[in-house]
Structure 1
Amino acid sequence: MAVFVIENVEKTFKVGEVVERVLKGASLTLEQGQVTALVGTSGSGKSTLLTIAAGLQQATDGNVIFNGYNLKNMSHEQIRQVRAKEFGFIFQFAHLVPFLNVEEQLKLMLEVAESKMSNKEQQEEVDQMLELVGMTHRKEAYPPSLSGGEKQRIAIARALIHKPKVLFADEPTASLDSKRSQDVMALIRHLTKTLGVTTLMVTHDEEMLAFADRVVKMSDGVILQDE
């Protein structure tokens, strides 16, 4: 089932008198339960396409349709609510709150998503998610005491604790060594399948493509290959 439909998206930036076309009519359909990897050289437009799909910036032209709703017809507040409730985000660095322990990181995300669950239900969700990412034994730990791989596992748990429909991952393994990168990608793939999430990932690491269902190659603002 198609969750995202990106149609003929254009993105231009004006620097002085120069107009730069970063995206040139990019189109992409994202299916539920799939990991789609966006690849390409620096400046190819892959991160711009991801941030437009995630509602973090607007397209100059074209449509981004999520669950049948066109983001360009939504107000800033409506888009903010979609991001908070329906989207999850993982970045190159975990960006954990330094003064919150692991358990509190996840509970904070439930607050941001305006969860209607009771405190007991929230605790059950947190415990279940920590078990899924193999971090139950570290639930009282604070970020400074976590390894890089552990921090990314918590970042994944935080991104998925509110059961979003879409997970956006921008270079999620770039700060990790090869072994930890594979562990993190295996976890992202496993949770995508287990929870029925739609995952869109930007990566430059070709080894990580083995964990994707689709690989979309971009160059100079256009999609060259989709397989």
Structure 2
Amino acid sequence: MTLFTIDEVRKSFTNGEVKEEILKGINLSLREGEITALVGASGSGKSTLLTISAGLQPTSDGQVIFEGKNMTTMSSEQVRKVRASKFGFVFQFAHLVPFLTVEEQLMLMLDVSESRLKKHEQKEEVNRILKLVGMDHRKNSYPNLLSGGEKQRVAIARAIIHKPKVLFADEPTASLDSKRSKDVMLLIRELTKTLNITTLMVTHDEEMLSYADQIIKMSDGLILQNVD
């Protein structure tokens, strides 16, 4: 089932008298329970496409349709609420709060997403998610005691704790070695399938493409190839 549709999306910037087109009319459909990977050289527009899809910056033209609603016509507050409740984010670096334990990182995310769970229910959910990503034994640890792979697992747990519909992953394995990269991608793929999440991922690592259901190759703001 298609959850997310990007319809003729364009993005341009004006630098003095020069207009630079970053995206030149992108059309893309994202399906539930699938990973879509955006690949291409630096400057191809893939990160811009991800941030526009996530409502982190506006389009210059075109529409982003999520659950049948046009996000490009929503107010900034409406978009913020969609991001907080429906979207999860994983970046190249885990960006964990250094003075919070693993458990507290996830509890904070539940607060930000305005979870309706009671406190004891939140703790139960945190324990469940940490077990799901294999980090329940580290729930009382601080980030400085975690390995790079463990930090990314916590970041993924934090991204899915509020049951998002869409997971945005921007170079999620770029800071990891080969083994940890594969472990993290296996985890993202497993969670995408079991939780029926729609995952949009930017990557430079071609080895990670084997985990994707759809591969979008971009160049100069255009889609060159769509591989299912």
TM bucket (normalised to shorter chain) is over 0.9
Point out where structure 1 has 5 or more consecutive residues left out of the alignment.
none
Question: Where does residue 97 of structure 2 map in the other structure?
Answer: 97
| In structure 1, C-alpha distance between the alignment counterparts of 2:73 and 2:17, rounded to whole Å | 29
| In structure 2, C-alpha distance between the alignment counterparts of 1:176 and 1:59, rounded to whole Å | 32
Query: Following TM superposition, by how much is the alpha carbon of 1:17 offset from its aligned partner in structure 2, in angstroms?
Result: 1.0
What's the secondary structure of 1:28's corresponding residue?
A: strand
1:9 aligned to 2:9? yes
| In structure 2, C-alpha distance between the alignment counterparts of 1:8 and 1:104, rounded to whole Å | 41
| In structure 2, C-alpha distance between the alignment counterparts of 1:125 and 1:225, rounded to whole Å | 40
Question: Where does residue 110 of structure 2 map in the other structure?
Answer: 110
1:35 aligned to 2:50? no
Q: Which 4+ stretches in 1 moved above 2 angstroms?
A: none
| In structure 2, C-alpha distance between the alignment counterparts of 1:166 and 1:54, rounded to whole Å | 9
| In structure 2, C-alpha distance between the alignment counterparts of 1:18 and 1:178, rounded to whole Å | 42
What's the secondary structure of 2:186's corresponding residue?
A: helix
Superposed CA offset, 1:75-132 (max 9, x none): 0000000000000000000000000000000000000000001112111110110001
Point out where structure 2 has 5 or more consecutive residues left out of the alignment.
none
Question: Where does residue 85 of structure 1 map in the other structure?
Answer: 85
The share of aligned pairs that are identical, in percent, is 69
| In structure 2, C-alpha distance between the alignment counterparts of 1:60 and 1:71, rounded to whole Å | 13
1:145 aligned to 2:164? no
TM-score if structure 1 supplies the norm length?
0.99
Residues 6-85 of structure 1 aligned to structure 2 (within 5 Å) = 6-85=6-85
Superposed CA offset, 1:143-178 (max 9, x none): 011100000000000000000000000000000000
Question: Where does residue 202 of structure 1 map in the other structure?
Answer: 202
| In structure 2, C-alpha distance between the alignment counterparts of 1:119 and 1:194, rounded to whole Å | 26
Query: Following TM superposition, by how much is the alpha carbon of 1:16 offset from its aligned partner in structure 2, in angstroms?
Result: 1.1
Question: Where does residue 119 of structure 1 map in the other structure?
Answer: 119
| In structure 1, C-alpha distance between the alignment counterparts of 2:166 and 2:139, rounded to whole Å | 25
| In structure 1, C-alpha distance between the alignment counterparts of 2:64 and 2:4, rounded to whole Å | 7
RMSD between superposed Cα atoms in Å: 0.5
